[in-house]
Structure 1
Amino acid sequence: MPIGRQPESRLLPSAGMHLWPSGGMSAADSHAQGHLVYAASGVLSVHTERGTSIVPANRIAWTPAGFTHQHRAHGHTDMRIVFLPASLARLVPDRPAVFLASGLAREVLLTLAGPRDLDRTARARLQRVLVDELHEAHERPLQLPEPRDDRLRAVARLLYENPADTTPLAALGHRTGASARTLSRLFHDELGMTFYEWRTQVRVYQALVLLAEGHDTTRVAHACGWANPSGFIAAFTGVVGTTPGRYAATIRRST
């Protein structure tokens, strides 16, 4: 996706917003301060060397200082960003992380990144509340680890291009030059999950994008490889923590 599709932006030293067109992607960048991002509408993906995190409307993503990252918008996306001073950044992980967004965390982040002018004392107080809320929420990652082995990368490309592909691992291995046993070991050793767990996550992440674009549950289920909506709903809820219907309703309320 071309990087040239630049967003409308409002940025302050401590926070701001980007209104991204669907498919917009930032250039690779890093910052001297760590930052939190939230999709007030649409869906974001945040790519770092640790993998790709999906940031729908019920998640907040953290990228520490110095980590090279890229943001990509899926659907028209209102991305809010809040930079944390070093004194507060020490209280959150020293690696990219994704947190469940409580109602309070969401409202505080939107206030910090919104048009309202805040004095330094008010801003510092709200930043501390936001970090406290993230501590209470704990981490709820929606992250797809990035394969390093070339054989895993080849399998990943096939599934990224067509998440609904039901080809067994042995047949995928034949196409990419590795045995099913070798690929199974690599998925376990590199990514900490089975091939089928990883494929389910790929499908759920694609479903997040399609739901944000307004497609109904049945159509999304079939497009992402489920033969019936009930299986899709169970898998989606297990990964995201809410049903596709409730997630889609959250997206509609945010827009």
Structure 2
Amino acid sequence: MPLGRHVEPTSRIWPSGGVHLWPPGGTSDADSHDRGHLVYAARGVLSVHTERGTSIVPANRVAWTPAGFVHRHRAHGHTDMRIVFLPASLARLVPGRPAVFTASGLAREVLLALTGPREYDRAASARLRRVLVDELREAPEQPLHLPEPRDDRLRALARRLYDDPGDNTSLAELGQQVGASGRTLSRLFRDELGMTFHEWRTQVRVGHALVLLADGHDTAATARACGWANPSHFIAAFTAVVGTTPGRHRASG
């Protein structure tokens, strides 16, 4: 997905974590850390970009980036981004690759507590981080993930639909424009991205819908912009991917 402009957020940072308050469209520089970290959007929507692709992180998800992975964040809407760094003893208990987890109610409260105004002593902070990791180990991975294609034809197709997620051109017609048959593209989607074209395009559209909702668009306008003529079909697809309806998601932001 296209990145926004680099801006400096309003930040409070300490050794174990911090808070970044981003304006809409704000983007961080590419960076990596010697400790893995969790990010959570207490308000707004985040996208996390790594060499493996883009993950969209609404308020019911927590994103994990292991130590050493180059990454970049983008804010969609006014975004309150919370960061918690994990020591190596806890980082080894979660995946050694970027991942996105469902955020339980307890996980959200612990993330907010660890990054809130109250100061905890080292022992209390360590106990809270352990509770957080235990919650994530029990949580299902539920990424809204757009893997980065390697094939040039898939890249060209992806750029077109990133720019216009509401484009309803068929795969066969898209193939004519990028120089591959629909059958070849179907195989490439399965082999490279691990999903069908329909599944991938739904992920693109729902990701774009999260961005539009964060920017204040209503459900009907968002459905049209993302290629759904029938808002009820959009609501069903959005709920299946995100786990809540567009209306409830807007209210929670």
Match of 1:22? 24
Does the 8 A contact of 2:4 with 2:74 survive in 1? no
Q: Does 1:108 align with 2:89?
A: no
Q: How many residues align?
A: 251
C-alpha RMSD over aligned residues: 1.0
Q: Does 1:57 align with 2:59?
A: yes
Output one character per residue of 1:148-185: Cα deviation in whole Å (capped at 9) or x when no partner. 11110000000000000001111111111111111111
1:89 alignment partner AA: A
Please identify, of 26-35 and 171-180, the stretch whose mean Cα deviation from structure 2 is larger. 171-180
The correspondence of residues 231-250 of structure 1 with structure 2, limited to 5 A, is: 231-250=233-252
Shift of 1:3: 4.5
Equivalent residue of 2:6, what SS? coil
Match of 1:7? 9
Q: Which of these residues, 62, 70, 73, is aligned with residue 71 of structure 1?
A: 73
2:99 alignment partner AA: A
Output one character per residue of 1:81-105: Cα deviation in whole Å (capped at 9) or x when no partner. 0000000001111111101111111
The correspondence of residues 1-255 of structure 1 with structure 2, limited to 5 A, is: 1=3, 3-251=5-253
Equivalent residue of 1:38, what SS? strand
What is the alpha-carbon distance in structure 2 between the residues aligned to residue 247 and residue 21 of structure 1? 19
Instruction: Give the TM-score, by structure 2 length.
Output: 0.97
Shift of 1:115: 2.2
Runs ≥4 residues deviating over 4 A: none
Output one character per residue of 1:218-243: Cα deviation in whole Å (capped at 9) or x when no partner. 11111100011111011111111111
Does the 8 A contact of 2:5 with 2:25 survive in 1? no
Instruction: Give the TM-score, by structure 1 length.
Output: 0.96
1:222 alignment partner AA: R
What is the alpha-carbon distance in structure 2 between the residues aligned to residue 245 and residue 22 of structure 1? 20
What is the alpha-carbon distance in structure 1 between the residues aligned to residue 127 and residue 81 of structure 2? 22
Does the 8 A contact of 1:81 with 1:113 survive in 2? yes
Shift of 1:4: 3.3
Equivalent residue of 1:93, what SS? coil
Shift of 1:139: 1.2
Q: Report % sequence identity.
A: 76
Equivalent residue of 1:154, what SS? helix
